[in-house]
Structure 1
Amino acid sequence: MPDLHVSWSEYHQKIEQLAARVYQSHWEFNQIICLARGGLRVGDILSRIFDQPLAILATSSYGGSAGKTRGAITFARDLTMTTANLGSHILLVDDLVDSGVSLKRTLTWLDRHYGFYIDEIRTAVLWYKACSVITPDYYVDYLADNPWIHQPFEAYENMNPEDLLKMHSTTLG
């Protein structure tokens, strides 16, 4: 199975396609929660398109060399949000669902910590891999062969401020 390489243009197009799928369902939600880091850009753009408040749940499950080693999921202590209370109909977004374990555990975490606010949660991702133990409610691409996805922002994982200064020193003066 070859890796899947995604450009910025393709990435933004996938987010727009995801928005269209959610809209087409006619489901009314009043809160978006994105999983950071992968779901940050997706959540931000969907929040703008649907004009709904965005809450962020910081999670981590990948590490190791090139961030390709899946480990146990770690959750932040709380959601970050600007509203007094969490909405009752939640669109939970991430960039992809790989094994599905992280998404499944996130649903459990939300129920334990904020369940008294929540009437319904639906999930939305750009890429849904066949190996997932959970099927998202909304997705753009189903990936039967489970490729590694190279997203456009991964280039920043190998950069540091010193390298950027060298690259841009002529324009920064």
Structure 2
Amino acid sequence: MTDRLPHEKGFHVSWDQLHRDARALAWRLQGELPEGETWRAVVAITRGGMAPAMIVARELDIRTVDTISVKSYNHQTQSEPVVIKSPDMDVVGDGAGILVVDDLVDTGRTLEVVRKHMPKARIATVYAKPQGRPQVDTFVTEVSQDTWIFFPWDMALQYVKPYHGSDD
């Protein structure tokens, strides 16, 4: 038996699917604050969290949006996470009332770094893998640890030949 490359067990997410899943995430988050309280801001983990964060911010009517940039991947190779851009700490403070959004939690190492910056923030991801789940407060879909998620910004539409016959 041969080892699979990360992309050989793939979960392909279209823009349409991402939009539906990010709206589902917003729906789940809607009831997670005590009555009378509102989210103060959304912080997207760049780059993958930007699209879902924008959708969640729209759905929950959150107008203050910032980013934290944590680099932990070089293509499909994960490395030690490093913060390369922090959010406005005057706005986010310790994270109370802050909603941090990312596309995916894989090992959870990126979110460990984010929690150090904003320990009281609520962390939400659209997709979660088992190893990283303890770092996430809310997510929509779980996939196996060995699944590689292909996000719409990673793909381009192109012609594919049929399996059998010809397309003449």
Name the TM-score, length of structure 2 as normaliser.
0.76
- The question of 1:34 aligning with 2:44 is answered yes
8 Å Cα contact 1:36-1:57 kept in structure 2 = yes
8 Å Cα contact 1:93-1:124 kept in structure 2 = yes
**How many angstroms does 1:51 deviate by?**
1.9
| Alpha-carbon distance between aligned partners in 2 of 1:7 and 1:60, rounded to the nearest angstrom | 24
Paired residue for 2:91, among 81, 85, 92? Answer: 85
Identity %: 26
Structure 1 stretches (4+) deviating beyond 4 angstroms? Answer: none
Query: Secondary structure of 1:59's partner?
Result: strand
Cα 1:17–1:133 shift into 2, 3 Å: closer
8 Å Cα contact 2:18-2:52 kept in structure 1 = no
Query: Secondary structure of 1:46's partner?
Result: helix
Aligned twin of 2:16: 9
Cα 1:7–1:110 shift into 2, 3 Å: same
Aligned twin of 2:126: 126
| Alpha-carbon distance between aligned partners in 2 of 1:85 and 1:6, rounded to the nearest angstrom | 33
Paired residue for 1:99, among 87, 107, 110? Answer: 107
| Alpha-carbon distance between aligned partners in 2 of 1:100 and 1:85, rounded to the nearest angstrom | 25
Structure 2: state its 5+ residue gaps: 1-7, 157-168
Query: Secondary structure of 1:130's partner?
Result: coil
Q: 1:1-173 alignment to 2 at 5 Å? A: 2-27=9-34, 28-52=38-62, 53-63=64-74, 67-79=75-87, 85-86=91-92, 88-111=96-119, 120-132=120-132, 134-155=134-155
Query: Secondary structure of 2:155's partner?
Result: helix
| Alpha-carbon distance between aligned partners in 1 of 2:16 and 2:88, rounded to the nearest angstrom | 28
8 Å Cα contact 2:112-2:135 kept in structure 1 = no
Structure 1: state its 5+ residue gaps: 112-119, 157-173
Query: Secondary structure of 1:85's partner?
Result: helix
Name the TM-score, length of structure 1 as normaliser.
0.74
Q: How many residues align?
A: 143
Query: Secondary structure of 2:136's partner?
Result: coil
Stretch deviating more after TM superposition (32-41 or 43-52): 43-52
8 Å Cα contact 1:130-1:146 kept in structure 2 = no
| Alpha-carbon distance between aligned partners in 1 of 2:65 and 2:25, rounded to the nearest angstrom | 16
